[in-house]
Amino acid sequence: MQNVTLNNGVEMPILGFGVYQIPPEQTEQAVTEALAAGYRLLDTAAAYGNEEAVGRAIKNSGIPREELFVTTKLWVQDAPAQENTKRAFETSLDKLGLDHLDLYLMHQPYADVYGQWRAMEDLHRAGRVRAIGVANFYPDRLVDLIVNNDVTPAVNQIETHPFFQRTADQHVMREYGVQIQSWGGFAEGRNNLFTHPLLSEIAEKHGKSVAQVVLRWLTQRGIVAIPKSVRAERMAENIDVFDFELTDDQMASIAALDTETSLFFDHRDPAIASRLGKWRLDD
């Protein structure tokens, strides 16, 4: 597995396993199978409701803790955000059955972002989490957070797939030393991604699947990917992307698929800011 080096020197696998929308009762088995397939980076969130199941799979795997890279995410917190963030962190850690995290991400750019971030900085300084980062931050909000705080986010996890490629955003992140991580790398299959004519043609040339071409395209751009699947054969397929390389022409032809538009929702949309910004989890 290739690694990327985060801005604080921490090494992170460039490919991992995401568990969004895996029901809690299916998650332990899915994560167990993903670990058996060779994944070492796991991506969950308080909001996914499956941290306990992820924790059970980690515990039962017998894999040494230092070989794993575990990410979870902080949901939107009310003031006093510093206190609430620390409580939410402990709840996640308890559910996962861990004594530290590898990466803690602020899930949404809403509510008391500064209070949440300063609490995350404290947790990082106290050694409870090896790296802290954000998700769903557009470049203006990201740079504002960076220039007004001590710790620069190590990662920004954002929607990134062939139809929404985030090239300009990636440049800004590179300039500030923030690692880009893709969520929804397959666009959850939207726009008929898995049967797309161009991606299928490139896949055929390499004797690979469309899914493998997409993951190769992401990782070849230096983007960390976390595909989700509940099927063991797809987990194996999705991690098998390091034995071929896309040509410059193929990279350029995929670049032409970019619509520069979200296929899900835009975090800058006032209706989304209102809906997600007001949504709270029950502990």
Query: Is residue 211 close enough to count as binding ligand NAP by CB under 6 A?
Result: yes
Nearer to ligand NAP, 126 or 265 (CB): 265
Least CB distance from residue 50 to ligand NAP, whole Å?
10
17-18 and 41-43 beta bridge pairing? parallel
- Contact partners, residue 148, CB within 8 Å, separation at least 6: 114
The DSSP letter of residue 201 is H
Q: Does 234 bind ligand NAP (CB under 6 A)?
A: yes
Q: Is-catalytic flag, 39?
A: no
Choosing from 72, 219, 238, 250, the residue that interacts with ligand NAP (CB under 6 A) is 238
28 is an interface residue for ligand NAP by CB under 6 A: no
How near is the Cβ of 162 to ligand NAP at its closest, in Å? 11
Task: Map the footprint of ligand NAP across residues 31-70, applying CB under 6 A.
Answer: 43
Beta strands, E only, the chain: 3-5, 11-13, 17-18, 41-43, 69-74, 101-106, 129-135, 155-159, 179-183, 224-225
CB burial of residue 228 (10 Å; 0-12, 13-18, 19+): buried
Alpha-carbon distance of 12 to 223, in angstroms, equals 11
SS3 185: coil
Q: Does 163 bind ligand NAP (CB under 6 A)?
A: no
Site string for ligand NAP, 68-107 (x = CB under 6 A): ---------------------------------------x
Q: Segment near ligand NAP (CB under 6 A), from 16-24, 93-101, 162-170, 199-207? A: 16-24
Under the binding rule (CB under 6 A), the answer on residue 183 touching ligand NAP is yes
Q: Which residue has the tokens 């004594």?
A: 99
CA distance 63 to 44: 18
Q: Does 135 bind ligand NAP (CB under 6 A)?
A: yes
By CB under 6 A, residue 229 contacts ligand NAP: yes
Residue facing ligand NAP at closest CB distance: 18
CA–CA dist 105, 46 (Å, integer): 10
Q: Pick the stretch among 92-100, 110-118, 147-155, 179-187 that binds ligand NAP (CB under 6 A).
A: 179-187
Q: Where in the sequence numbering do the catalytic residues fall? A: 48
